[in-house]
Amino acid sequence: MSHHQTEAVVLLSGGVDSSTCLAMAAVDHRCHALTLHYGQRNHLELESARRVAVTLGAAHQVLELPLDWLGGSALLGVNGPHVPLSVDGVHPSRPPASGVPVTYVPARNSIFLALGAAWAESLGTPHLFIGVNRVDYSGYPDCRPVFVEAMQRALRLGTSAADLQIHTPLIDLTKGEIIRRGSALGLDYALTWSCYDPQDGRACGLCDSCIHRKKGFTEAGVPDPTPYVS
């Protein structure tokens, strides 16, 4: 953990991007990692988030915030209308031309950033980190810089934190660059989890997230520690 006194809140899912974001934030801040248990299909990423937070010396809060009643996503749907998981499919309720993946969760980053901002406000720190990056621009509307900028403006207006800064250190990095950056900081990617559709504790190797992960490690020239089914 950093010996610097500035505190920061970091949204942590347990995947490559958010874990790297935490490792980067921990260089200059005492970090408070926020993980949302929102009804996602598997719990392996929650355990990964816990391990990453412990390893990086971050205080860790897991918040139970079930969104599965929403449905509308292949990652949800226990109590709501479930969308089948598809490697390259777009969401059936949206026009194919929209390119929004089936794994998009309605308003997820809006919800997460609002909660992260609330924690940052209560801690008295203006620093809030989220690991969005350019790989997700085309599909996820809540990973775009224009969205993050608009959320920052809205949260500054709607809270006492007029100086709130939403940090996006990965925004212009490719997946390979992200992995190289995290590796240079000593992050053990064996602690992280990406797969949307795990089987017997192993990553499927076929979902969008697995494909991005495999490609990223190849680009980075770093061995991928993930056990894949295929």
Per residue of the chain (230 residues), what is the pLDDT tens digit?
Answer: 444 579 999 999 999 999 999 999 999 999 999 999 887 766 788 999 999 999 999 999 999 988 777 766 656 554 444 444 444 444 344 444 456 666 677 788 999 999 999 999 999 999 999 999 876 555 778 888 999 999 999 999 999 999 999 999 999 999 999 999 999 999 999 999 999 888 888 999 988 889 989 999 999 999 999 999 98
The pTM for the full model equals 0.87
- pLDDT value for 13: 95
- pLDDT value for 208: 80
- pLDDT value for 100: 66
Class of domain 7-220: alpha beta
In order, the DSSP letters of the chain are ------EEEEE--SSHHHHHHHHHHTTTSEEEEEEEE---S-SHHHHHHHHHHHHTT-EEEEEE---GGG--STT--SSS------SSPBPTTS-GGG--BTTPPTTHHHHHHHHHHHHHHHHT--EEE----GGGTTT-GGGSHHHHHHHHHHHHHHSS-TT-EEE-TTTT--HHHHHHHHHHTT--GGG----SS-BTTBB-S-SHHHHHHHHHHHHHT------B--
Where do the structural domains in the chain lie, given as residue ranges?
7-220
